[in-house]
Homo-oligomer: A and B are copies of this chain.
């Protein structure tokens, strides 16, 4: 069960390496390197976790209150980063999406229905099984997501559930 308790919170890349990769992607696509884009990337790196665009927008504003960054830029940059595989998103129905830096190892999520806490884990057996399932149904797999919902240890204590 050791595989589950690995620490998925640490990006496997230094910030400089990440920034270089981002710049390279921008160059390759004829896009421009801007202060706004860097601020957003940095905010994702520094506060590792899962953020809604709105929350990320607030983080970026706090980080640099002088720069009057717009929320549209946050959305546009998150879209760009996701398209290029630098961030990944988790859907929460009509409550929108949350984004996290995608420079960590692949993992799935377990979400507390009471406090919203998100814990990451990875199970090799399931990972492998998913590929097998896709193949046996004639699909070529491009992606997958697994979410477990439950009540986290802390919230269980509060109401002995």
Given contacts A91-B91, A134-B150, whether A110 and B123 have CB atoms under 8 Å apart is no
Q: How far is the CA of A121 from the CA of B121 in the complex (A)?
A: 23
Would you call A72 an interface residue if the criterion is a C-beta within 8 Å of the partner chain's C-beta atoms? no
CA distance A149 to B130 in the complex (A): 10
B136 with A4: CB separation less than 8 A:
yes
Bound-state CA distance A140–B54 (Å) is 30
Chain B min CB distance to A107 (Å): 11
Convert A86-97 into 0s and 1s, putting 1 for each residue whose CB lies closer than 8 angstroms to a CB of B: 000101111011
User: Any chain B CB within 8 A of the CB of A21?
Assistant: no
A146 to B129, CA, bound (A): 12
CA distance A129 to B148 in the complex (A): 11
* Contact between chains at B139 and A151 (CB < 8 Å): yes
Q: How far is the CA of A21 from the CA of B55 in the complex (A)?
A: 42
Q: Which residues of A contact B (CB under 8 A)?
A: 1, 4, 89, 91-94, 96-97, 110, 112-113, 119, 121, 123, 125-126, 129-130, 133-134, 136-153, 156, 161
Nearest first, the 4 A-B pairs at minimum CB distance are: A138-B153, A139-B150, A91-B93, A143-B149
